[in-house]
Amino acid sequence: MSILSLHNISKRYGAIQALSGVSFEVPPGSVFGILGPNGSGKTTLLGIVTDVLKADEGTYSLFDAPPAGRLRRQIGTLLETPNFYHYLTACQNLQVAAAIKQKPEQDISRVLEIAGLTARQHSRFKTYSLGMKQRLAIASALLGDPGVLILDEPTNGLDPAGIAEVRELVLRLAETGKTIILASHLLDEVEKVCSHVAILQKGKLLLSGPVNEVLAREDYVELSGPDNTVLEAVLARHPAFSHILSRNGHLQVVFSQPVDLAALNAYCAEQGVWLNHLHIRKQSLEKAFLQLTNN
C-alpha cells in the first residue's frame, strides 16, 4: 500500500508551469520530505493532493483509493498559512475542524495542550500572534491523532523556541510510526528523520526515493595540524585520498574508501605531522541537496 501516489501531475498558472509530470509514491510509515527551493511547486503539489487546487493533467490516489473527503479526514494537514475564522476563539475554531474531520471534541483539549495554547483557548483567533496562529494550525492538524500528517513549512512564523518545539514534535510523531509528508525549509532540522525525499525544481521532479539513495552523502574527515599546507601535501599522498572539500579552518577531506581514524592518525605522525583535530563527519543533507539542485 502507498499513502499517497502521484501519477504524472501537471499544473499551469497562465504562463507559469508550476508542475510538470510529477510522479512519486509515499510509502506508509515514511517521513517523506518534499524538498525544493521557493517557487519549485511544493505547495502547489500539496494543494492538489488536498483538493484545493485542480491538476490540469494526471491523477493521484490516497491510501490506494481515488481521492475523497473521507480519506482526507484521516490526514492532518497544515497547508501554507493557518486558515481560521477570525471572530471565533481557538476552541470554537477547533470545534469546527473536529466536526468536519468527524473527530471527538474531547480531543480538542489534548491538542491545545500539545500546542501550548490551553491558557489562550478562549481568546479570539484575531487576537493571536503569528506564532500562536501557526501553533493552532498544528493543533488542528493533530486532531483525532491521524496516522498521516501533511506539514507544509510547519515552523513558519515561529520564534526560535517554537521552531525547536515543532522540530521535537515532528521527531516524536515520526517515532510513533506516523507517515509524515513534510515540505522543506525544515530540511536541515528533519535530516535525522527524513527517510524518503522527493526533490522538486521549477515544477519538475529531479529525484525521489529513500534519502540515502537519492542524496548520496559522502563521509568526510575533518582534520587539522600545526600547518595545514604541509598536512594537505601529506594527505594527498595517502593511497585512499580522493579530494578536499574545504580548507576553511579545518581541512575537510574525502577518501575513496573508508579510513580508520587511528590508522590515519598514525600515518600522519609517520609523515611528521602531529594532528590537533581529527573527526569523521557526514555531509549535511542541505549541502548534498544544494549540490544536486545546482547541477
Partner 1 sequence: MLQIIRIEWLKVKSYRTFWILLLLAVAIIPAANYIGAEINSEIRDKAKDLIPLSTYDFPLIWQTMASVNSYMTALFGFPLLILVTNEFTYKTHRQNVIDGWERREFVLAKLFWWLALGVLALLISMLFAVILGLAYGTHAFSLEDSRYMFYYFLQVEVSLAIALLIAMLVRRAGLAIVLYLAYTMMIEQVLVVTIKRYVGEVGGLLPLQAGDELLPFPIVGKLMSSANRFDDGVYLLMLLVYIALMIFLVFRRMLKTDY
Supply 278's cell numbers: 581529527
Closest of 3, 14, 13, 20 to residue 57, by C-alpha: 20
Q: How far is the CB of 75 from partner 1 (least distance, A)?
A: 8
86-106 as b/e: b if 16+ CB within 10 A: eeebbbbbbeebbeebebeee
Binding region for partner 1 (CB under 8 A): 47, 50-54, 68-70, 72-73, 77, 79, 81, 83-88, 92, 95-97, 99-102, 140
Q: How far is the CB of 17 from partner 1 (least distance, A)?
A: 15
Strand ranges in the chain using DSSP code E only, listed in sequence order: 4-13, 16-26, 31-35, 57-62, 75-78, 148-152, 179-183, 196-201, 204-210, 219-224, 241-246, 251-255, 277-282
Nearer CB in complex with partner 1: 88/278: 88
Q: How far is the CB of 218 from partner 1 (least distance, A)?
A: 40
Q: How far is the CB of 238 from partner 1 (least distance, A)?
A: 55
Residues facing 241 on adjacent strands: 255
Nearer CB in complex with partner 1: 79/223: 79
Nearer CB in complex with partner 1: 87/274: 87
Nearer CB in complex with partner 1: 122/243: 122
CA geometry: angle 238, 240, 246, nearest 5 deg: 80
Nearer CB in complex with partner 1: 86/279: 86
Nearer CB in complex with partner 1: 96/266: 96
Strand ranges in 96-186 using DSSP code E only, listed in sequence order: 148-152, 179-183
Supply 209's cell numbers: 526515493
Q: How far is the CB of 85 from partner 1 (least distance, A)?
A: 6
Q: How far is the CB of 6 from partner 1 (least distance, A)?
A: 17
CA geometry: angle 138, 32, 69, nearest 5 deg: 60
CB distance 21 to 44 below 8 Å: no
Nearer CB in complex with partner 1: 50/293: 50
Q: How far is the CB of 96 from partner 1 (least distance, A)?
A: 5
Supply 102's cell numbers: 468527524
